[in-house]
Every structure is written in C-alpha cells, then in structure tokens.
Chain A
C-alpha cells in the first residue's frame, strides 16, 4: 500500500466517522462537530494529494486547505450562533424537535 492510499483510506474513515456522528447524534453541537470532522477529512485529502501525487502546482493543495480552514471557521461561527439561537427558542438542542419551520 502506497502512502497516498493510506492517507486516502484514513481520510475516508474519518469522513465516515464524521458522517456517523452527524447522522446518529441528535445534539446540534455534535452534529456540527461531525460536519467539521468531515471537512477535516477533505482537507486531509488535499494535503495527501499535494504531498504524494506529482503533477499538482507546488502550493495549490496547501492553499486549498487554508481556504477550507477559513471557510470552516466561518461555518462554525454561524453554526454555533444558530445553535444558540435554537437553544433560545426551544430550550434544548435536539434537532428532531427543531421542526418549527416544517410546513
């Protein structure tokens, strides 16, 4: 198994764990954290390809990850603000109960 394959498998596994957390847990914060984990898995891929795959421009992978981290930060900020707003409305963080917008 080449290093690239190892990295990709690690990334896939991390993505799956993130997915499981996001799907199975009902707490909004945990769901958000699961999504962050999935983002991290994607970033892992960028770095893996940048490092172990020839042909890419020298810094593209790194720059992609930097952008992704920045976007993730923005996403987390907004997401947690939503969590707090959600909490203020229904006094808990159970996403199943956040159905007010359903028609």
Chain B
C-alpha cells in the first residue's frame, strides 16, 4: 500500500533518534578538541628522525645522510645535505651525518616509503596530526632540529615496532662488535693483512620493518 515504505523509513529514523541517546553504536561522534581520538599504533602522519640520546639529539642522529629516502620519496619532499666531516655514531664509529635535513610537509604525502627504504631505522613516522599553522611556507618546512625526536618518543608512539628495531639494532651492534673483535684478532695474528672492510650495514631491502 502507498505509504508503507515511507512509514517504515520513519520508523528507522525514530529508532535512530532514540538510539542516539542510549546506544553508543548509534552515537559515534567524538567531540574532538576535548576528546582526542585513540590512534591505532600503525597510524602514520609525517616522518621524523630518530636520535638515540634525548640530551644530545643532533649529535646522536641515526641518519648517516645516505640519501636513499631522498631518492625514493615519491613527491620528493626530502632535502639532505651531507656533512663534510664525520662524527662518531652511537656505536662510536665515525659517520657522515646530515648537515641539512629538511622535509617539506606541505608536499609530503605520508606514504611511509622513506621509512621502508631506510637501512638505518633512522626515519620513522610520527603521529602528531595537529600541525595547523598560519604560515604556509616556513612553518611547513621542517628542519633537522624540528624533525629530530628521541628513541624514547618512538617507543611511546609505536611500542611494538620500536622494540623490534631496538632488538635488531642491538643484534647488529653485537654482530659488528663480534666481527670487529674477530678482525682485531686476525689483525693481531697477521699484521701484514689488509684492513678488513667495515662491517656492512644490514640491508633491509627484503624485510620491511614491520614484518612479524
């Protein structure tokens, strides 16, 4: 009969009206500035640079300015200048470091490819999404200082991933020490033998950092 479909529809809206007062499944609004959304651990926004020591952020950057991320970034929002000198990294080995590391967040599309291609676990995705600013240019171009955040922060936003990274890095370091020790022994045994090449850094092409 004419009108039955309309009445059925009215019933549905009435049910939703009543339901919105007592049923959380029917009232899903978060009143944002007061109530913050619960971000899933995987949530990604813009990249940041990981440093090992919060007291000396720029001195303990993991980044060695290899420029892979700069090359792989699809929208080309990363700009890196290598340093001319070398500074010791967390393991004490002298490394090149980024003299300039800038990310234009107005260009960045949060694709996470820089994170995936980084062999040093130096760049990770941040979860800060309240990035509104009144300045369209300078404020959106983040420099090295603004990008650097300590490993402890990484642990707070992506705990699982950070634990994996730390374990892997510790294993790498141990392996490197072991190798160095072996090399030192060998050197002691054969002083004339040529210098062994530096321990290659673990290539992570085939192991995405989030593998189980």
Direct contact of A and B (CB under 8 A): no
- Interface residue ranges, A against B (CB under 8 Å): none
